[in-house]
Structure 1
């Protein structure tokens, strides 16, 4: 017997947005003394607390600005918002598995947008 799970919905979040969502879950669990934080959830909370740099509103604004570039899709924009690359080399790493690469001018344009938030 095989159990299939159906993907009902998918939404991209930045680490900052995930931190906000996990903080709500953590507060809900803390209010109920009988419910404890499972290992996976505790690790996820620790991860977002360590790596979230921007506020959720700032990260959403950055993603919106990045999506104005026609070369960037939603997954790439969210990766860039999470990583906040400072150089062309760091930015190229986001596109390492893609079938296309951005030109030097396009990389500089993206880095200029990221610099406003970093």
Structure 2
């Protein structure tokens, strides 16, 4: 017998947005002394605390600005907002799995947007 799981919905989050959600969960758990943080939850909280560079509002603005560009889809915009690449090489690694390559002007346009938030 095989058990299949159905994906009901999907939503991309930046690390900053995940940090905001996980901090709420952490506060709820801290308020209840009988509930402890599971290992996975503690590691997730540690990860977002270490790698979240922007405020959630800033990351949402960055994602919306990047999504307006023609060759940047929603998933890629979130990945760029999480990584905040500094140069073309770092940005090219984000697009490595795509079936297209960006030229220098397109890369510079994305880097200019990222520079406003970094």
| Shorter-chain TM-score tier | over 0.9
Moved over 2 A (4+): none
Looking at structure 2, the residues matched to 4 and 20 of structure 1 have their Cα atoms a distance apart, in angstroms, of 31
1:42-74 CA-to-partner distances (Å, cap 9, x unmatched) read 000000000000000000000000001010000
TM-score by structure 2 length? 0.98
Greater mean deviation of Cα atoms: 42-51 or 97-106: 97-106
Q: Map of 1:33-112 to 2, 5 A cutoff?
A: 33-112=33-112
Alignment partner of 1:106: what SS? Answer: helix
State the shift of 1:101 in Å: 1.0
State the shift of 1:97 in Å: 1.1
1:3 aligns with 2:27: no
TM-score by structure 1 length? 0.98
- Structure 2 unaligned segments of length 5 or more: list them: none
Looking at structure 1, the residues matched to 69 and 98 of structure 2 have their Cα atoms a distance apart, in angstroms, of 16
Alignment partner of 2:102: what SS? Answer: coil
- Structure 1 unaligned segments of length 5 or more: list them: none
State the shift of 1:89 in Å: 0.3
